[in-house]
Structure 1
Amino acid sequence: MSSLEDYMLPCLNKKLFGIDCLGCGMQRSIALIIQGDFKAAFVMYPAIYTIILMLFVLALHLKFKFKNGHKYLLALFIINILIIITNYINKFI
C-alpha cells in the first residue's frame, strides 16, 4: 500500500541547490491535515491554515462577489507572505 508521500513532487530548488524553498513543507503539511494531524501540519508549514482560509475566502468571493472581498484577500495574502518569509528565515537561524 502506498502513502501520499509516494506521489509528492520533489523540491527542485532543494534538489539543485541543497536549500529549502519558500514552499518546502507545504505538500507534507497538506498530507498531515488529510491524515488528521493538525498540529504537525502547522509545525511543518505554519502558513498552511491561513493559505486554506485565503483559498476559501477567494472561492466565496468568486461565487458571491463580496463588496470588499478583494481587500480581505489582499490582507490574507500579505499575512501569508509574512508568515512564509518569517518561517523561511527561522529555518536558517
Structure 2
Amino acid sequence: MTTVRDNRAESRFELDIEGRIAFANYRVTPQAVVITHTETPLPLRGRGIGSELVKGALELIRADGRKVIAGCGFVADYLHEHPENRDIMA
C-alpha cells in the first residue's frame, strides 16, 4: 500500500492504488475533522483498501492533534471495530 495523503485543496484524504484513487471527503470544524464520505473505486473494493484509507486518515488527524467525527457509516463502523482510536474521537 502507498501512503494516505491529505489533499487540503480538495478537503479529502487520498490513497493511490493501481492508478486509481480511494478518498475520504472531510470538513474541518473548530472541534474536529468530520469525515463525511468515503469511496473506493469499484475494481478495488473488497480488498481492505477503504480500511487502509481510514486508518491512514486517522493517523494524519492524530498527528495534527485533532479529533475525528464519523460523518459516514463506513468510518463509524471502522471506529467501532478499532477501539484503539477512541482517544481521537470527538
TM-score (norm 1): 0.29
Q: Which structure features the higher share of helix residues? A: 1
TM-score (norm 2): 0.30
